[in-house]
Amino acid sequence: MKPRLNGLAHGEGSAKWLAREGYAELGPAVVGHPVTRLADSAWFESWIEMASPEALIVAYADKRAGQRLEPMAERFASWERRYPPAARAERTRGAWTTETLHRVWRRAELLERRACELAGSEPGDVRRLKWTGRAISAARSAVAGGAR
């Protein structure tokens, strides 16, 4: 079951929020980022062939970043610990089977290869640059200042 916000699945809801905030041009790059998209065979096979470089990079970044940047294997292991197939089956209709998890993982690996090829890098080279901590702090301050 896909998380929904105002009746929209996560990716579509993210694109709609960006449009509402004045960044509609970013919508196509984020609409395909949810990990649940990797479970949809028809959607994924079409998307991986036609996705823009920006969409590939955003989707890949989503698979590498939780509270911190981590290898994809760690991110997926974290999801599996929090949402094991049996626990999902008890809670959610249409929960992923072990087979689906393996298929999603293979597609994530393909996504990783494509994104890294675009960047001319290897997965182990992906890291936060020194300036990102300051940029994230500045963004959080700006958001907090705007909330007042």
Tell me what percent of the residues of the chain surpass a pLDDT of 90: 41
Return the minimum-mean-pLDDT range out of 76-90, 101-115, 123-137.
Answer: 76-90
Question: What percent of the chain has pLDDT above 70?
Answer: 84
Amino acid at site 18: L
Rg (CA), the chain: 17
Distance CA 80, CA 66 (A): 14
Question: What's the pLDDT at 5?
Answer: 53
- If pLDDT is split at 50, 70 and 90, which confidence band does 128 have? confident
Diameter of the chain measured on Cα atoms: 48
Question: What is the pLDDT, as a whole number, of residue 1?
Answer: 41
DSSP state of 9: E
- Please provide the average confidence, as pLDDT, over all residues in the chain: 84
**pLDDT of amino acid 130:** 85
Q: How many Å apart are CA 12 and CA 2, to the nearest integer? A: 11
